[in-house]
Every structure is written in structure tokens, then in C-alpha cells.
Amino acid sequence: MNSTQDHGSLARDLIVYVAILVIAALQFVIAYQHIDGAQMFARMLALAMLEAGLGVLFFMHLWMETRGFLIFVAVFTLFVLAAMNYLWPDSFRILVGAPFSSYH
């Protein structure tokens, strides 16, 4: 790798880093706004997904991978998040017991 590629990579990494800092500042501003919980949740979730996407794509160099691998990682991540939805109800069962059972 020559020095021009190193300089471009460093500049790109710094731009992404500053963008992530700006997103974090926006999250701080949103946290102190007087809005209802659903609006705050939606805004924070959108910013967190953007921030995580930038971090994964640039700092883990996922943007340099092939398109097939990128799609695989995205689909696998969505599968894991969807599968977590099936595990969360078990944690409620630990707290309140099995619903509709005769034994408590």
C-alpha cells in the first residue's frame, strides 16, 4: 500500500469517526428533549442503527468484502435478532411461572 492509499484511508476513517461523534451528540440532544417515549425510542433506535452500521462497515472493514458476504452478514444478523424474540418470553416465565398451568 502506498502513502496516498494510507492517507485516503486515514481521512475516511477520521470522517467516519467524526460522523459517529456527531450521531452520539444528536443522541444526547434527543435524550433531553421533552418528547414521549415512543418518539424517543424510534429516534434513538434509528440513530443507534446508523451508528452501528457505520462502525461495522468502516472500522471492521466490512465495506471491502464481497457483496455476497455482506448480504450473508446482514441476513444472519436479522435472523439472530428475530430468534432472540423467541427466547425473551422464557425470561418472563422465570419471573411469573408457566402461564395457565395448574402447578405453581
Nearest to 53 by CA among 85, 69, 77: 77
Same domain, 86 and 55: no
Structural domain boundaries enclosing 33: 1-64
Total domains present in the chain: 2
Same domain, 56 and 84: no
Per-residue pLDDT of the chain (104 residues; tens, 9 = 90+): 455 555 568 888 899 999 999 999 999 999 999 999 899 999 999 999 999 889 888 888 888 889 899 899 889 988 988 887 776 666 666 666 666 655 55
The pTM (predicted TM-score) of the whole model is 0.65
Same domain, 11 and 50: yes
Q: Please say whether the dihedral angle defined by the alpha carbons of residues 42, 44, 47 and 48, taken in this order, is positive or negative.
A: negative
